[in-house]
Amino acid sequence: MQVTKVMTNTRRAPGLAALALAVAALAPLAAPCHSARADDIPARPEQLKFPPLTFAAPRAADYRVTLGNGVVAYLVPDRDLPLVTVNVLMRIGPDLDPAGKEGVAATMVNLLTRGGTTTRTAIQVEDRVAFLGAVLESGTGGGGGGPFGGGGPPIGGSESRATLNLLSKDIDEGLVLLVDCLKNPAFQDDRLTLRKDQLLQSMKQRNDESAQIEEREFGFLMRGDGHWSNRYTTEASVKGITGDELMAFHKRFVGPKNFILAVSGDFDRAAMVKKLEKAFAKWPTPGERPGAPAAPAAAASAGWFMVDKAVNQGRVSLGIRGIQRDDPDLYAMRIMNDILGGGGFTSRLVNRIRSDEGLAYQVGTRLGEGVYYAEPFRLIFQSKVRSVAYALQIASAELGKMRDTLVTPDELETSQNGFIEAFPTQFATASAIAGLLAVDELTGRYQKHPAFWAEYRDKLRAVTAADVQRVARRLLDPAKMSVLMVGDTKEIMLGDPKHEDAKIVAMAGGEPKHLPLRDPMTMKPMANP
């Protein structure tokens, strides 16, 4: 796909640019006067007519290249700025940690670009990167998606990446540095010690913020204690990480078989292919592409739960096991979620709980669309502890309304238009295009559903109000829902004196189950106070 940008480029020839601007300014004075008649001008702005805007989703095949060693790369040129970004995606995550060795995968990936190589010390790598004005980093997982920036990474925390960003003129040297870090890591003892110290200090703060507690306990309720996503690092597991373990893990998983490249920026496509062929041609071991991470074996824990935390704000999550991204109801689910709480100020929950009642500044829903297994649907808000019960009563009523009645034509149209009009923004930059297509490759969407993006808007537009109600009835089952409250439990249970009918015990059908805090260094539940 050719991405066409309409703009005036004034950087190449300042003198000519100035002349062009001057001519443009004088042009109206020299041109014949063709005044529009008054009756041609609409009376109101909404009556103005514009030609339809068209946007074709990028086709993966237009950017996809397979290197000689089998590595798939997505190359998206953009000559606007003299910059190049290279992302190396790998299927590496904490699901691969050996039992009792939690933290090995993340530590190995973190130190790839920070722990030196067999040819350069860590300081030498950092100095050279700084001299080039570049960025060279690596990490596991990705940004979340929850209503307030929470939630899990985009593909369940099971991917890692190494990223290089620098001036296009320095790409040859940059690729040498990147490949050296990936191929020949040294995992220097001093850097490993530093990383372990950082992890241990961070662990001590696990119970400091109620948001951390809520996120953690919600994960346990949704996926069970035995799932890999709930196997946290401990003091023992971190202290036990050795350089030899990192080397063995690296040898097994870091190699061409486990690479997907996303390259964007200022380059000629053919020339970049040659550079990548040269950089990634020789590798000590091919590496291994792991299979899909294990799905939760246990059912989600339904019921009402509380964690006591002496704060004046209560955090609440209502959750239920959701869907996978290839579910045939995906599009209707997205619209249902958008109307209920995912659509910001156009959503029902925001209007009722925030705008009408002033009970919460932050309120919303998130539809988990798991790649490998169903991720949770989640309703989340934060309110004063005495207001939690009343806000929960309103939230429950809105869930029931979504199940029991059809959404209005205006709600349906607003949601559909919002998704469709925002659709091109996912492809706004060359970097975004390359990254999205590379993740599709890594997670199998390209192979299973090559027309996903081409069909996306049509399938959204085909959703009906009856579809929305049907999926709401399918998903929003109160008998299967978990309700988690974190805050001052005594105050939460007292409720709002202005709304005596809103009581936790009445809504829960009894006393909620009180969950103990976990020891931050062992992650074992501590005794209830």
Q: Look at residue 193 in the predicted model and tell me its pLDDT.
A: 98
Q: Is 165 helix (H, G, I), strand (E, B) or coil?
A: strand
| Mean pLDDT (10-residue bins), the chain, 529 residues | 35 36 38 56 85 90 97 98 98 94 96 98 98 97 36 57 98 98 98 97 96 97 94 96 98 97 98 98 93 94 97 97 96 98 96 97 95 95 97 98 98 97 96 96 95 97 98 97 98 96 97 97 85
Please spell the DSSP secondary structure of 282-351, one letter per residue.
--S-------PPPPP-SPP--EEEEEE---SEEEEEEEEE-EETT-TTHHHHHHHHIIIIITGGGSHHII
- Give tens-digit pLDDT for 462-508: 999 999 999 999 999 999 999 999 999 999 999 999 999 999 999 99
- Give tens-digit pLDDT for 143-194: 333 222 223 333 457 899 999 999 999 999 999 999 999 999 999 999 999 9
Structural domains in the chain? 60-280 (3.30.830.10), 303-514 (3.30.830.10)
**Number of Cβ atoms within 10 Å of the Cβ of 451:** 10
Q: Look at residue 36 in the predicted model and tell me its pLDDT.
A: 53
**Number of Cβ atoms within 10 Å of the Cβ of 258:** 21
Decide if 166 contacts 132 (C-beta within 8 A).
yes
Q: Look at residue 16 in the predicted model and tell me its pLDDT.
A: 32
Q: Look at residue 53 in the predicted model and tell me its pLDDT.
A: 79
pTM: 0.88
Q: Which helix (H) or strand (E) holds 436?
A: helix 430-443
**d(C-alpha 452, C-alpha 418), whole Å:** 19
Decide if 46 contacts 236 (C-beta within 8 A).
no
**Number of Cβ atoms within 10 Å of the Cβ of 403:** 18
| Non-local CB neighbours of 47 within 8 Å, separated by 6+ positions | none
Q: Is 384 helix (H, G, I), strand (E, B) or coil?
A: strand
| Non-local CB neighbours of 399 within 8 Å, separated by 6+ positions | 318, 340, 379, 476, 478
